[in-house]
Structure 1
């Protein structure tokens, strides 16, 4: 049983797009609301994309870049807080956190795709 759980977790970390789609499908079937389902899938799979970016970067460069990922997340949070404060002059924490987390999803999906492509190209040219 623990092997099956480990396999599922490893698949979701390795292929977070699959987890995103699976969460979306289950949510659409239960809620019948596509917009809410997309938001739920984004919110829950963002952490998987962050973890996947960490492991892809570790595989490419053979060193931990966790400090860089954490720094990037903190900088994005600071920028979002400043922009939110300038625009609304009052910080609404729930809107701020949702916007920050969803932007991190977009950022890390982009980084996941770029690093995956870069890793494939590097492995192809290093092998040949």
Structure 2
């Protein structure tokens, strides 16, 4: 059972788009709500995109940039807090965290695609 779980997590980190799609399909089948399913799939797969970006960076550059990833996530959280405070004048932690987390999805899914293309170009250039 442990090997199966490890395989599932490894696949989700390696192919986070697949993880997003699987969560989306399961949630749509269970709830019949497409908007809710997209949001839940986004929220759950954000962690997989973050881990994928980290591992692709390690593979491409032979260095861990995890500290930069954490700093970037912190900057995004601070920016969302300030923006929320400026517009609403009252900070709702739940809304700020949800907004920052979903923005992290956009940042890291874009980073994943860009790093995937860079890795592909690098691999083609070395062959």
> Structure 1 length normalisation: TM-score?
0.96
Aligned-partner Cα distance in 1 for 2:6–2:33: 31
SS at the partner of 1:44?
Answer: helix
Equivalent residue, structure 2, for 1:28: 28
Equivalent residue, structure 2, for 1:70: 70
Equivalent residue, structure 1, for 2:83: 83
Compute the displacement of 1:95 (Å): 1.0
CA offset digits 1:44-81 (Å, max 9, x no partner):
00000000000000000000100110010001111111
Aligned-partner Cα distance in 2 for 1:68–1:110: 16
Is there any run of 5+ residues in structure 2 with no aligned partner, and where?
Answer: none
SS at the partner of 1:18?
Answer: helix
SS at the partner of 2:64?
Answer: coil
Equivalent residue, structure 2, for 1:103: 103
Equivalent residue, structure 1, for 2:119: 119
Equivalent residue, structure 2, for 1:15: 15
Let me know the Cα RMSD of the aligned residues: 0.8
Tell me the matched-pair count. Answer: 127
Equivalent residue, structure 2, for 1:60: 60
Q: Tell me which stretches of 4 or more aligned residues in structure 1 moved more than 3 Å.
A: none
Aligned-partner Cα distance in 2 for 1:38–1:73: 22
Aligned-partner Cα distance in 1 for 2:82–2:126: 44
Equivalent residue, structure 2, for 1:4: 4
